[in-house]
């Protein structure tokens, strides 16, 4: 065991954040720490690092173990370059190398016993240098920098000129090169593009030390961790496996707890009904029987109702009306900034009902394309046009479409003047803005709060074409899953930019990869893209691909048509199955209501045979409903 967290509690201003949190991390173990925003994850990391003190409990690191920590935000300063910052980690090796060179110079001037002693010292130093892999330290530094997305042209940039995200990547590189026994990472993928995240996944999987990760990147957690610790309502719960295993197990436990509660409630209500009926007879024997049942009921160990999360936003995306089949046509789009070409010749076509993810490395111009399509920025050249009856809903990751000087209430009321005060408050409450919160200024909101306001406006737009720029940024995992579900069930068309590979995997029906001056199309989700990427790039680019080739969508028309037809057939089959299930659920629920009404009839209450018959039928319907709900949810989860 390298770290033992024992009964840690922490409160701020009287509000309890952590309550007797306990778990441990074994040597070499990769662990995820998850929970909603504000659950106390970063607080716990700071307690482990000694930055904060717990009110109770302790965090004990194994004797002699070294620990490293990457905070969410870095404020690196100084005159060193990017390369020098990482090379500084190897100071001990550099000094040892200097001593070895100095020893070599001394040996040339020594003889006899002095030379023999110097040679022994030289042998010890060179052995230590080799053990520390000293001959490869330069390639290791370069490898880490390139893996984290720095080009060689960036190596000589002064730290002071870097953006916040670049500084975080430098800090992460330094941390990895120090190779501590335990690494604490707080949102390490926030400022990495997809290729850098893939590199980091491989690095951490092969890392010999232990790692504790706070992250909302579910795809990343699936790849890296073998244990998940969830902080919920101040307490810690540990699950074995990756994020998907945790999510499945948690849902199974939630369902089991709810099923046990429902069954206990049915039994309680049944006993109360029988007791009431017995008392109504108003006979000595019946009253005694009723009292006996009351005592039995008092002794029953009834489970508490599973706690419902009150802090989950409610999001439903529904188009007001259908668009035409041709939703968007883009042709020869180009854009430069300050003389630097960002992209040129971009072209794409998007059809009704498609959910398209636009991916690519940082700086390729993905968000700029979305801004051009929404009139936020002008294109240098090219054209685009929307099809008939297309109404666009735009989600901007920089929240520039929000007015910082307005309150939340004003932001909604000004854009939707037909809504009355009650309707606005009810809608905002679904996005967790209640009471006086609705009068907060947009400019004073956190990133997560601003994201919820933008999602609220997106929902109210009732648009049939959603254009989303990094929609999962600032959202915790629970909110991401809610957005994911809303996008999956959305019947309109979607074009979005995202680095959230889990979100892409669950919501995209097609992926456009902006790479090497071309836009490659993959009809499938992110896993399909990973599987086919190398083959398609090899087939498309080859060795003779022109470097100035225009950016366009390349796809095999025949396979495209066939795949779309298969997808449409699968979608129709799923829709029919859902319709049949919903009709069956409606029938069962109607009959369940009739049985409730019948069981409340005093005449039936006196007919034990009839009462037993109806009760058995109600129990059978409960089982049938549970199975119908399960099948319905499975169909909803299908791609």
- The model's pLDDT over 192-250, given as tens digits with 9 standing for 90+, comes to 888 889 899 999 999 999 999 999 899 999 999 999 999 988 999 999 999 999 988 98
User: Distance between CA atoms of 449 and 186, rounded to whole angstroms?
Assistant: 20
**Would you say residue 494 has pLDDT above 50?**
yes
Kindly state whether residues 512 and 576 are assigned to the same domain.
no
Q: How confident is the model at residue 544 (pLDDT cuts 50, 70, 90)?
A: very low
Per-residue model confidence (pLDDT) at position 546: 39
- Tens of pLDDT, residues 121-147: 888 988 888 887 777 878 888 999 989
User: Distance between CA atoms of 567 and 508, rounded to whole angstroms?
Assistant: 12
β-pairing, 510-515 vs 235-240, is unpaired
Cβ proximity of 564 and 554 under 8 Å = no
Cβ proximity of 424 and 388 under 8 Å = no
Which of 245-284 are b and which e, b meaning 16 or more Cβ less than 10 Å from the residue's Cβ?
Answer: bbbeeeeeeeeeeeeeeeebeeeeeebeebbebbbeeeee
Tell me, yes or no, whether 248 lies in a domain: no
Kindly state whether residues 509 and 575 are assigned to the same domain.
no
Cβ proximity of 215 and 189 under 8 Å = yes
> What long-range pairs does 141-147 form, CB within 8 A, spacing at least 24?
141/83, 141/86, 141/87, 141/89, 141/90, 141/177, 144/86, 144/173, 144/176, 144/177, 145/82, 145/83, 145/86, 145/173, 147/196, 147/199, 147/200, 147/203
**Would you say residue 357 has pLDDT above 90?**
yes
Per-residue model confidence (pLDDT) at position 547: 40
What angle, 0 to 180 degrees and rounded to 10, lies between the N-to-C axes of helices 408-415 and 421-430?
120
Kindly state whether residues 544 and 560 are assigned to the same domain.
no
Average pLDDT of 246-256? 85
Q: How many domains does the chain have?
A: 4
Kindly state whether residues 274 and 209 are assigned to the same domain.
no
Q: Any idea what the Cα angle at residue 37 is, between residues 402 and 32, rounded to 5°?
A: 135
Q: How confident is the model at residue 389 (pLDDT cuts 50, 70, 90)?
A: very high
Cβ proximity of 383 and 332 under 8 Å = yes
| Distant-in-sequence, close-in-space partners of 605: CB < 8 Å, separation ≥ 6 | 273, 277, 280, 599, 611
Per-residue model confidence (pLDDT) at position 299: 81
Tell me, yes or no, whether 254 lies in a domain: no
Average pLDDT of 543-567? 48
- The domain boundary, picked from 554, 581, 596, lies at 554
Tell me, yes or no, whether 105 lies in a domain: no
In a 13 Å sphere around the CA of 370, the CA atoms on its Cβ side amount to 26
Tell me, yes or no, whether 212 lies in a domain: yes
Domain at 421, CATH number = 3.40.50.300
**Would you say residue 175 has pLDDT above 80?**
yes
- The domain boundary, picked from 509, 539, 554, lies at 554
Kindly state whether residues 411 and 366 are assigned to the same domain.
yes
- Tens of pLDDT, residues 298-339: 887 777 766 655 557 788 888 989 999 999 999 988 888 887
| Structure-token pair, residue 19 | 């309550």
- Tens of pLDDT, residues 570-600: 766 777 786 787 788 778 878 888 888 887 7
Kindly state whether residues 393 and 503 are assigned to the same domain.
yes
Average pLDDT of 600-609? 76
Per-residue model confidence (pLDDT) at position 46: 93
Per-residue model confidence (pLDDT) at position 431: 86
- The domain boundary, picked from 554, 575, 593, lies at 554
Q: How confident is the model at residue 282 (pLDDT cuts 50, 70, 90)?
A: low
In a 13 Å sphere around the CA of 32, the CA atoms on its Cβ side amount to 28
Average pLDDT of 472-489? 87
User: Distance between CA atoms of 189 and 222, rounded to whole angstroms?
Assistant: 14
Range of the domain at 23: 1-76+162-241
Kindly state whether residues 296 and 412 are assigned to the same domain.
no
Tell me, yes or no, whether 132 lies in a domain: no
Q: How confident is the model at residue 568 (pLDDT cuts 50, 70, 90)?
A: low
Kindly state whether residues 303 and 353 are assigned to the same domain.
no
Question: Strand runs (DSSP E) across 322-440, as ranges?
Answer: 326-337, 340-351, 355-360, 381-386, 392-395
Per-residue model confidence (pLDDT) at position 285: 63
Alpha helices by DSSP H, listed for 282-394, are: 284-299, 366-373
Per-residue model confidence (pLDDT) at position 294: 84
| Structure-token pair, residue 335 | 């854009």
Kindly state whether residues 504 and 416 are assigned to the same domain.
yes
Per-residue model confidence (pLDDT) at position 549: 46
Kindly state whether residues 333 and 295 are assigned to the same domain.
no
Task: Give which of 216, 159, 160, 166 is closest to 196, Cα–Cα.
Answer: 166
Q: How confident is the model at residue 510 (pLDDT cuts 50, 70, 90)?
A: very high
| Structure-token pair, residue 336 | 């430069």
Tell me, yes or no, whether 169 lies in a domain: yes
Kindly state whether residues 287 and 348 are assigned to the same domain.
no
Mean per-residue pLDDT over the chain, rounded = 84
Tell me, yes or no, whether 152 lies in a domain: no
Tell me, yes or no, whether 534 lies in a domain: yes
Q: How confident is the model at residue 443 (pLDDT cuts 50, 70, 90)?
A: confident
Among the ranges given (109-123, 281-295, 319-333, 341-355), the one the predictor scored with the smallest mean pLDDT: 281-295
Higher pLDDT, 390 or 112: 390
Kindly state whether residues 536 and 561 are assigned to the same domain.
no
């Amino acid at each position: 065991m390298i770290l033992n967290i024992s009964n840690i509690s922490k409160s701020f201003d009287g509000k309890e954040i952590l309550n007797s949190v306990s778990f441990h991390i074994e040597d070499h173990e990769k662990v995820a720490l998850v929970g909603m925003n504000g659950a106390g994850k970063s607080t716990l990391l700071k307690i482990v690092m000694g930055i904060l003190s717990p009110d109770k409990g302790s965090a004990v690191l194994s004797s002699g173990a070294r620990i490293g920590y990457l905070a969410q935000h870095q404020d690196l300063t100084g005159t060193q370059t990017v390369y020098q910052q990482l090379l500084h980690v190897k100071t001990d090796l550099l000094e040892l190398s200097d001593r070895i060179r100095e020893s070599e110079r001394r040996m040339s001037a020594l003889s006899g016993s002095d030379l023999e002693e110097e040679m022994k010292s030289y042998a010890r130093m060179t052995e230590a240098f080799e053990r520390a892999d000293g001959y490869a330290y330069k390639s290791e530094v370069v490898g880490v920098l390139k893996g984290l997305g720095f080009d060689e042209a960036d190596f000589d940039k002064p730290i002071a000129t870097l953006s916040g995200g670049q500084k975080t990547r430098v800090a992460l590189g330094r941390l990895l090169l120090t190779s501590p026994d335990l690494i604490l990472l707080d949102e390490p993928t926030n400022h990495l593009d997809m290729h850098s995240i893939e590199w980091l996944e491989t690095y951490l999987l092969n890392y010999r030390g232990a790692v504790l990760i706070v992250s909302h990147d579910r795809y990343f957690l699936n790849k890296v961790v073998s244990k998940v610790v969830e902080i919920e309502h101040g307490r810690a719960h540990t699950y074995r496996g990756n994020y998907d295993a945790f999510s499945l197990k948690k849902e199974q436990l939630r369902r089991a707890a709810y099923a046990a509660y429902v069954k206990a409630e049915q039994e309680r209500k049944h006993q109360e009904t029988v007791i009431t009926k017995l008392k109504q007879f108003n006979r000595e024997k019946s009253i005694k029987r009723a009292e006996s049942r009351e005592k039995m009921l008092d002794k029953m160990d009834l489970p508490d109702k599973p706690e419902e999360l009150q802090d989950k936003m409610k999001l439903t995306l529904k188009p007001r009306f259908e668009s035409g089949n041709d939703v968007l046509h883009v042709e020869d789009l180009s854009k430069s900034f300050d003389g630097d070409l960002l992209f040129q010749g971009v072209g794409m076509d998007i059809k009704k009902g498609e959910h398209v993810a636009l991916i690519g490395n940082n700086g390729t111009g993905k968000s700029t394309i979305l801004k051009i399509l929404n009139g936020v920025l002008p294109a240098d050249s090219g054209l685009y046009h929307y099809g008939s009856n297309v109404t666009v809903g735009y989600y901007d990751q920089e929240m520039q479409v929000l007015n910082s000087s307005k309150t939340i209430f004003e932001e909604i009321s000004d854009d939707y003047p037909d809504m009355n005060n009650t309707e606005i408050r009810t809608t905002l409450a679904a996005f967790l803005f209640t009471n006086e919160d609705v009068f907060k200024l947009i400019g004073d909101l956190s990133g997560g709060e601003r994201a919820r306001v933008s999602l609220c406006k997106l929902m109210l737009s009732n648009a049939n074409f959603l254009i989303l720029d990094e929609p999962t940024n600032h959202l915790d995992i629970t909110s991401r899953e809610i957005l994911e579900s809303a996008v999956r069930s959305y019947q309109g068309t979607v074009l979005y930019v995202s680095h959230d590979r889990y979100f892409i995997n669950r919501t995209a029906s097609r992926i456009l990869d902006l790479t090497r001056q071309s836009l490659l199309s993959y009809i499938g989700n992110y896993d399909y893209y990973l599987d086919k990427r190398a083959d398609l790039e090899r087939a498309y680019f080859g060795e003779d691909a022109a470097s100035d080739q225009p950016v366009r969508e390349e796809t095999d028309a025949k396979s495209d048509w066939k795949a779309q037809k298969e997808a449409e057939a699968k979608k129709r089959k799923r829709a029919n199955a859902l319709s049949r299930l919903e009709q069956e659920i409606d029938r069962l629920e109607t009959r369940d209501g009739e049985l409730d009404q019948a069981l409340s009839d005093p005449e039936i209450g006196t007919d034990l045979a009839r009462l037993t018959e109806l009760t058995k039928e109600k129990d059978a319907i409960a089982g049938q409903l549970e199975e119908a709900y399960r099948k319905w949810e499975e169909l909803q989860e299908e791609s």
